[in-house]
């Protein structure tokens, strides 16, 4: 399962935990998950942050550039529900307001083990 990460408006806390999910202790790569540099090489998107007005269109374009079938993972409370930024002036909404979401990972931020567990549900390993 190859995933293109998109930060749609994160505080960067979720990115730190994603980095740890792919570091040696959690090592999501062991279970068949991998981050890739291009949506054209991806099976889906790993989206963090509330969707800001500036990132709504780039997020949709990245989704369209991802070959079908594709999955969308919303990582962190902001991506799942808007979190602490819900209703802010520069915000469109949660990821679900912009894209079809397949997997949600709640938490602010979610722990690396929770991210890895969610990705394992996708990879089946
Ligand atoms: S869920 Fe928490 S850690 Fe993640 S982007 Fe939102 S505020 Fe930051």
The confidence score (pLDDT) of residue 63 equals 98
Domain count, the chain: 1
The confidence score (pLDDT) of residue 109 equals 98
What residue numbers bound the domain in which 10 lies?
A: 2-123
Q: Residues lining ligand 1, judged by CB closer than 6 Å?
A: 10-11, 13-14, 48-49, 76-78, 83-84, 108-109
**Cβ neighbours of residue 43 under 8 Å, at least 6 residues apart?**
1, 2, 3, 66, 69, 70, 71
The confidence score (pLDDT) of residue 45 equals 98
In angstroms, the CA 107 to CA 74 distance is 11
> Could you tell me the CA-to-CA distances from 24 to 28, 68, 78, 105 in Å, in that order?
9, 31, 26, 21
Confidence class for position 76, pLDDT limits 50, 70, 90 = very high
The confidence score (pLDDT) of residue 108 equals 98
CATH number at residue 21: 3.40.50.12280
The confidence score (pLDDT) of residue 62 equals 98
Share of the chain above pLDDT 70, in %: 100
What is the pLDDT of the chain when averaged over all its residues? 98
**Span 59-84, mean pLDDT?**
98
In angstroms, the CA 11 to CA 49 distance is 7
**Span 15-41, mean pLDDT?**
97
Token pair for residue 45? 């998107």
Q: How far is the CA of 107 from the centre of ligand 1 (A)?
A: 8
In angstroms, the CA 44 to CA 49 distance is 16
The confidence score (pLDDT) of residue 117 equals 97
For ligand 1, atom 5: residue with the closest CA = 10
User: What does pTM read for this prediction?
Assistant: 0.97
What are 84-96's pLDDT values in tens digits? Answer: 999 999 999 999 9
Best of 46, 50, 52, 84 for a ligand 1 pocket test (most atoms within 8 Å of beta carbon): 84
Q: How far is the CA of 11 from the centre of ligand 1 (A)?
A: 6
In the beta sheet, which residues pair with residue 41?
A: none
Confidence class for position 75, pLDDT limits 50, 70, 90 = very high
């Amino acid at each position: 399962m190859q995933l293109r990460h998109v930060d749609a408006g994160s505080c960067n806390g979720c990115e730190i935990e994603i980095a740890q999910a792919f570091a040696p202790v959690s090592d999501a790569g062991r279970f068949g998950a991998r981050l890739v540099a291009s949506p054209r090489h991806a099976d889906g998107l790993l989206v963090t942050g509330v969707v800001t007005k500036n990132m709504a269109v780039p997020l949709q374009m990245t989704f369209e550039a991802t070959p079908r079938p594709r999955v969308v993972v919303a990582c962190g409370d902001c991506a799942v529900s808007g979190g602490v930024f819900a209703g802010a002036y520069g915000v469109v909404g949660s990821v679900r307001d912009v894209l079809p979401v397949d997997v949600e990972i709640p938490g602010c931020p979610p722990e690396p083990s929770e991210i890895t567990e969610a990705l394992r549900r996708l990879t089946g390993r």
